[in-house]
Amino acid sequence: MNRGNQQKSAHVTTRRLLDMKEKGEKISVLTAYDFTMARILDRAGVDVILVGDSASNVFSGHNTTLPITIDEMIYHARAVVKGVQTETSRAMVVIDMPFMSYQLSGEEALRNAGKIMKEHECDAVKLEGGYVIAETVKRITDVGIPVMGHLGLMPQSIYKYGSYKVRAQEEREAEQLLEDARLIEEAGAFAIVLEKIPSKLAETVTRQLSIPTIGIGAGGSCDGQVLVINDILGLNREFHPRFVRRYADLDAVIENAVMRYVDDVRSGSFPSADESY
C-alpha cells in the first residue's frame, strides 16, 4: 500500500510480522469491509486488517462465502485501503481472493492477484488451501505479491465438508494439515490462518513454522488471532460460536437508537428548533 511517496515506518509489513513472531509479540487481526470501520480499526492499533470474503455473509447476507465476486472484493478493498490511508496508515491490509478466482489455473490466479494488488494498493492477498494450491502460492509470491495462507476449516470448501465443525481432529487430517502448512510456507507465504482446529495441533504448527500463524478458533498458542469485526461487536445476535469473544452488543445499541429516532420523528420532536436552519 503506497502512502504518499514513502511508506510510513510504522506501517505493518510482512517483515514486521516475522519480527513479531520471533520476539513473541502477538499479532492482532480483524476483518473490515468499509471505509468507516477500517479507519476505526487502524486508529485502534490493529496490526492487520483482513478484507475477508466473510463480506459475502456479513455484508451481503449470503449463506456462504462462495457467491462473492472478485469485483465485489475489490469494491470492499478499495474502501478499506482508503480508510487506512486516512488514519495512521499503520495496519497492513490483506484481501481474500474469492472462490474460483485462483483455483482454475496458476495463470488466472496470478492475473487476479495482480488485479487486486493494482486496483487499490493493498499489502497482500489471502488464499485458502494446502498442497493443491502450493504451486499457485509460489507463482504469486515469485512475482512479489505477498500471500497469506489459510488452513483448517476453509469456508470456501464448506459444501465438501458439509458442516462447520472443528477440522483435523483425526490423525490423518492433522498430519495432512501439518504437511500443507510446511508446503505453503515453502511456497513463500508470509503467514497462515489456522481456522477451527484443535489447540494442540495449532501449537505444533506454530512451533514448526518460521512464519506466523494467525488463529481463529485454534487456541492461544498461535502467533496471532483473527476475528470477524461484526462478531466481536455483537452485530449478529444469532451467531454465538465458542471462539468468538464479544466486546460490545451493537445489535441492541443500534436497534435502540433507531427505535428512539423513529419515535422522535413520529412524535415530531425531531428536528427541534436547534436542529433546524
Kindly state the smallest distance separating residue 256's Cβ from ligand KIV, in Å: 27
Geometric angle at alpha carbon 14, from 47 and 32, rounded to 5°: 40
Cβ 96 to ligand KIV shortest distance, Å: 5
By beta-carbon distance, which residue lies closest to ligand KIV? 52
Please tell me the distance from the alpha carbon of residue 138 to that of residue 113, in angstroms, as a whole number: 12
Q: Which of 108, 135, 179, 195 is catalytic?
A: 195
- 153 — phi, psi (to 5°)? -70, 115
**Could you tell me the three cell numbers for 61?**
447476507
Tell me the sheet residues that pair with 225.
Answer: 28, 215
Residue among 3 and 67 whose Cβ is closer to ligand KIV: 67
Residue 216 found at the interface with ligand KIV (CB under 6 A)? yes
SS3 category, 224: strand
Query: Is position 52 an interface residue for ligand KIV (rule: CB under 6 A)?
Result: yes
Helix (H, G, I), strand (E, B) or coil at 80: helix
Cell numbers for 57, please give them.
Answer: 455473509
Residues 187-206 that bind ligand KIV (CB under 6 A): 193, 195
Reduce the DSSP state of residue 23 to 3 states and report it.
helix
Other Cβ atoms less than 10 A from the Cβ of 210: the count is 8
- 117 touching ligand KIV, by CB under 6 A: no
Cis upstream peptide for 271 (omega within 30°): yes
Closest CA to 173 of 210, 191, 198, 206: 198
Note whether 223 binds ligand KIV by CB under 6 A. no
Coil, helix or strand for 225? strand
25 is catalytic: no
The residue from 12, 17, 80, 96 that contacts ligand KIV (CB under 6 A) is 96
Binding flag, residue 228, ligand KIV (CB under 6 A): yes
CB of 264: closest distance to ligand KIV in angstroms?
Answer: 36
Among 42, 47, 53, 180, binds ligand KIV (CB under 6 A): 53
Taking the least distance from each CB to ligand KIV, the nearer of 136 and 225 is: 225
For ligand KIV, give the closer residue by CB, 194 or 209.
194
Residues annotated as catalytic are 195
Give me the residues that bind ligand KIV (CB under 6 A), please. Answer: 31, 50, 52-54, 96, 193, 195, 216, 226, 228
